A and B are shown apart, each in its own frame.
Chain A
Amino acid sequence: MELIEAIILAVLAASTPLLIAATGELVTERSGVLNLGVEGMMIVGAACGFAGAWLTGSIFIGALFGIVAGTLMSLVFALMALGLAVNQVATGLALTILGVGLSGLIGAGFVGERITPAAHLYIPGLTDIPLIGRVLFGEDAFVYFSLALVAGIWWFLYRTRPGLILRACGDNHVSAHALGYPVLRIRTFAVMFGGACAGLAGAYLPLAYTPFFIPGMTAGRGWIALALVVFSSWRPGRLVVGAYLFGAVTILQLHAQGWGVGIPSQLMSALPYLATVIVLVLLSRARTGGSTAPAALGTVFVPDR
């Protein structure tokens, strides 16, 4: 019993940064921009988030530092890919390389330091319920926030006019421009939102997951978040399922090693990507028409004036 509870708790904790970062990237991609720099924005968010929390002693301010750092990183991307119409794939990859280096520089002085990690919710009675108590009522604020974020994004995309306009930009930027929508401005906001989410997801790691910072601690989670967006076929609901599935795979991989299951851990680590490839194949086979990916994804747009 306790083992199952421990596994579920660990899965939730491992899935939360994936969910937050992927939600941000989903919004970015829905606007038609492919930002491959999620890993870079996350790792800078992790370094700055830890620095903020260590300097002020406040997890909340640490999280804010992470958000701001991720947003600033995404602005570099927006300047290049939207302002100067540079190839988005190249810019995104460059952003990751920049982020990894930058986070090492920022975090160098903090390696070996510890902070008090984010507090977990405790409601007497409810949290004490066996098995489900801690899972439902004993999480840290990030977990609840991530679920509220996805719900909010679903509502925004499918129930509000700005959400419709954002989807329209991702579907056909020429039409959106012809109707008078400021495509580049909308995309810049979407990229900034993606950066803020990636920064927060990165900050989650040293603020709640492990109470210290080590260089390279995102360990490929940004790439998994990118894969997750494809896996979810750009739909927020499926994103939640995918995030917990991918989180579970990472945790199971650890436990499998502990139990001495004879599957190489490298194969387990590759599972999220393998799952994404399989989903892509299934999507393209099952497709009766229309496109699942935003039609303008990754294409450069220069308005004529």
Chain B
Amino acid sequence: MQAHRRMLDPTANSLHSGESPLLKTVGLTKRYGDFLANDAIDIDIWPTEIHALLGENGAGKSTLVKAIYGLIQPSAGQIFWRGQPIMLSGPSEARSRGIGMVFQHFSLFDNLTVAENVALGLDGKESFKDMSARLEQVSKTYGLPLDPKREVWQLSVGERQRIEIVRALMQDPQFLILDEPTAVLTPQEADQLFVVLERLKAEGRAVLYISHKLEEVKRLCDTATILRGGKKVETCNPRLETAASLARMMVGGEIKEVKAAAGRQTTVPRLVVNDLSLAPGEAHGVRLEHISFELKGGEILGIAGVAGNGQDELFAALSGERLSKDPGTIVIEGLAAGHLSITQRRKLGAAFVPEERLGHGTAPRMKLSENALLTGHAASGMVHHGFIDTAATLKTVDRATETFDVRKAKRDPEAASLSGGNLQKFIVGREILRNPAVLVVSQPTWGVDAGAAAVIRQALLDLATAGAAVLVTSQDLDELAEIADRIAVMFHGHLSAPLATSEATREKLGLLMGGSTLEPREAAHAVGA
């Protein structure tokens, strides 16, 4: 039914009648062994269009844009550029034809300067001096200020993205691909990016925009193509859709709505941090500055902030990966714990889920049961007289699998063989099954598809309902708004006073994430709330 309506929807194609699309793929297919990453995808990109590419993880978005950018060769199908069939031998050929790309995981070189990074993205036909002059000019024209002499490791994430965008713009591309550009930006930085994109569109260029943020797509994009399981599901006008209808097309069914139990009672403080300051443990680290908060049972506190503002350091301090000199700075279940090891903190009833799933949350080449043992050995009865109780470790795997719908090929596979979402469900499940009094979790649904994300968020809510104190660090403001009772923001190692979620508007959070302070009266009011 819906599909039919959309086919009749005139906005998608009639505007362009008589012209040919700037870029067109016909039956584009990429096969890895038996796996079809892209299955006969047709997509049309028109000039002066911002075209969204939507889909869950593993839907084939990255594969598609890599093929269009010449990074991988399609197994079948054809790409047309301005109506002519083309075969791209590599990215430099794509660039010379006028196709530019801004990567999700930046393709920058940390130890090289901004100018050198830009030079590497160009084809080297002009002298370094001319290039530097042009860099200055382009960055001024588009309002993207850059200091060409600084090395990349000194720059913030937003500045790094600016390099990528300026580098792409310096090739004067007719068609620019952006892979999840706003995932790491503050709302204000994202707004600045949208201004640039609107301007590119006004200049007659086309933009292909990959994003998970549906509201953003509705606001910015003229057309949306939705992929699911390597196939194209639909091309539609996102402004005529709702975020829910777009999500349905991405997932291919309804997403279970996350529901908080009404009237959750808060009890005693279970995790208290008193004036915690800690020097960074490594060269690029952030110093924690006088962090204080109190987290009661039954409560979820969200910590927002742009990555790299001390969230990792705070996690390390709370989990006991780094000890603080003063035991009283961290109080778990009423006991001073700042000087205690991870294991001792676990015995007090705390559980920890770090951001990085492979290598931090799990040992990638070890089996799930062994990974269960790695965090459960202290307090979950998996070790008797120094010997591992394999039956108990396997039982933990089975329970986590059952309770959290972990999908895997066999009973006890290696951690690395699970997909991101399923591994995350296992890790969160492993900790929740220990019935922790305090759960500290970092980026619980980062890079996890919508279905698995809903399961994990629901589990965190249920845990809080059962009386535990939950601390969630996330860069996804929508996620925090959905599950947290209060939200605080980290910036340069400082933690703001928490705002009640009902009062934490995107504007306020965005200001805090950018390092501004709220009106003193307002902040005081929020703390009181």
Residues of A near any B CB (own CB < 8 A): 161, 164-165, 167-168, 171-172, 174-176, 178-181, 287-291, 294-295, 304-305
The chain B residue with its CB closest to the CB of A162 is B124
B residues less than 8 Å from A289 (CB atoms): 153-154, 283-284
What does the 1/0 interface line of B58-77 toward A look like (CB < 8 Å)? 00000000000011110000
Given A164-B119, A305-B73, residue A172 in contact with residue B108 (CB < 8 A): yes
Query: Can you offer 26 A-B residue contacts whose CB atoms are under 8 A?
Result: A164-B116, A164-B119, A165-B120, A167-B109, A168-B109, A168-B120, A171-B110, A171-B111, A171-B112, A172-B107, A172-B110, A174-B105, A178-B71, A179-B120, A180-B71, A180-B90, A181-B120, A287-B283, A289-B153, A289-B154, A289-B283, A290-B110, A290-B111, A290-B151, A291-B111, A305-B72
Given A289-B284, A290-B151, A295-B111, residue A180 in contact with residue B70 (CB < 8 A): yes
Cross-chain contact A175 with B108 (CB below 8 angstroms): yes
Cross-chain contact B107 with A175 (CB below 8 angstroms): yes
Residues of B near any A CB (own CB < 8 A): 70-73, 90-92, 95, 103, 105-112, 116, 119-121, 124, 151, 153-154, 283-284
Among A165, A180, A291, A305, which residue has its beta carbon within 8 angstroms of that of B91? Answer: A180
The chain B residue with its CB closest to the CB of A178 is B107
Taken together as a complex, chains A and B put the C-alpha atoms of A129 and B71 apart, in Å, by 62
Cross-chain contact A179 with B121 (CB below 8 angstroms): yes
Cross-chain contact A174 with B107 (CB below 8 angstroms): yes
Among A168, A178, A180, which residue has its beta carbon within 8 angstroms of that of B103? Answer: A178
B residues less than 8 Å from A305 (CB atoms): 72-73
Question: What would 16 more interface pairs be, CB under 8 Å, given A164-B116, A172-B107, A290-B111?
Answer: A161-B124, A168-B109, A168-B112, A171-B110, A171-B112, A178-B91, A179-B107, A179-B121, A180-B91, A180-B95, A290-B151, A290-B154, A294-B111, A295-B111, A305-B72, A305-B73
The chain A residue with its CB closest to the CB of B127 is A161
The chain B residue with its CB closest to the CB of A292 is B111
Cross-chain contact B110 with A179 (CB below 8 angstroms): no
Cross-chain contact A290 with B153 (CB below 8 angstroms): yes
Main secondary structure of the interface of B (DSSP, over half): loop
Taken together as a complex, chains A and B put the C-alpha atoms of A2 and B120 apart, in Å, by 53
Cross-chain contact A288 with B107 (CB below 8 angstroms): no
Taken together as a complex, chains A and B put the C-alpha atoms of A291 and B111 apart, in Å, by 7
Taken together as a complex, chains A and B put the C-alpha atoms of A288 and B153 apart, in Å, by 11
Cross-chain contact A180 with B92 (CB below 8 angstroms): yes
Taken together as a complex, chains A and B put the C-alpha atoms of A76 and B109 apart, in Å, by 29
The chain A residue with its CB closest to the CB of B88 is A180
Taken together as a complex, chains A and B put the C-alpha atoms of A289 and B284 apart, in Å, by 6
The chain A residue with its CB closest to the CB of B73 is A305
The chain A residue with its CB closest to the CB of B72 is A305
B residues less than 8 Å from A288 (CB atoms): 283
Among A172, A180, A304, which residue has its beta carbon within 8 angstroms of that of B109? Answer: A172
B residues less than 8 Å from A167 (CB atoms): 109, 111-112
A residues less than 8 Å from B112 (CB atoms): 164, 167-168, 171
Cross-chain contact A291 with B119 (CB below 8 angstroms): no
A residues less than 8 Å from B95 (CB atoms): 180
A residues less than 8 Å from B106 (CB atoms): 175
Taken together as a complex, chains A and B put the C-alpha atoms of A103 and B103 apart, in Å, by 49
The chain B residue with its CB closest to the CB of A304 is B72
Taken together as a complex, chains A and B put the C-alpha atoms of A174 and B107 apart, in Å, by 7
Cross-chain contact A175 with B109 (CB below 8 angstroms): yes
B residues less than 8 Å from A175 (CB atoms): 106-109
CB of B93 to closest CB in A, whole Å: 8
Taken together as a complex, chains A and B put the C-alpha atoms of A167 and B108 apart, in Å, by 12
CB of B91 to closest CB in A, whole Å: 3
B residues less than 8 Å from A287 (CB atoms): 283
Cross-chain contact B91 with A171 (CB below 8 angstroms): no
Taken together as a complex, chains A and B put the C-alpha atoms of A295 and B110 apart, in Å, by 9
Taken together as a complex, chains A and B put the C-alpha atoms of A221 and B109 apart, in Å, by 33
Among B72, B103, B110, B116, which residue has its beta carbon within 8 angstroms of that of A291? Answer: B110
A residues less than 8 Å from B124 (CB atoms): 161
Q: Which one of B70, B71, B151 has the highest number of Cβ atoms from chain A below 10 Å of its Cβ?
A: B71
Taken together as a complex, chains A and B put the C-alpha atoms of A177 and B70 apart, in Å, by 11
Taken together as a complex, chains A and B put the C-alpha atoms of A175 and B167 apart, in Å, by 13
CB of A221 to closest CB in B, whole Å: 29
CB of A11 to closest CB in B, whole Å: 33
Cross-chain contact A164 with B120 (CB below 8 angstroms): yes
B residues less than 8 Å from A291 (CB atoms): 110-111, 153
9 interchain residue pairs of minimum CB distance: A180-B91, A175-B107, A178-B107, A171-B109, A180-B92, A180-B90, A290-B153, A161-B124, A171-B111
A residues less than 8 Å from B116 (CB atoms): 164, 168
Taken together as a complex, chains A and B put the C-alpha atoms of A164 and B120 apart, in Å, by 8
Taken together as a complex, chains A and B put the C-alpha atoms of A291 and B73 apart, in Å, by 34
B residues less than 8 Å from A179 (CB atoms): 91, 107, 120-121
Q: Which one of A168, A174, A181 has the highest number of Cβ atoms from chain B below 10 Å of its Cβ?
A: A168
CB of B447 to closest CB in A, whole Å: 17
Taken together as a complex, chains A and B put the C-alpha atoms of A141 and B91 apart, in Å, by 44
Taken together as a complex, chains A and B put the C-alpha atoms of A164 and B283 apart, in Å, by 25
Taken together as a complex, chains A and B put the C-alpha atoms of A168 and B107 apart, in Å, by 11
B residues less than 8 Å from A171 (CB atoms): 109-112
CB of A43 to closest CB in B, whole Å: 34
CB of A181 to closest CB in B, whole Å: 8
A residues less than 8 Å from B90 (CB atoms): 180
CB of A164 to closest CB in B, whole Å: 6
Taken together as a complex, chains A and B put the C-alpha atoms of A164 and B127 apart, in Å, by 13
Taken together as a complex, chains A and B put the C-alpha atoms of A289 and B286 apart, in Å, by 12
CB of B111 to closest CB in A, whole Å: 5
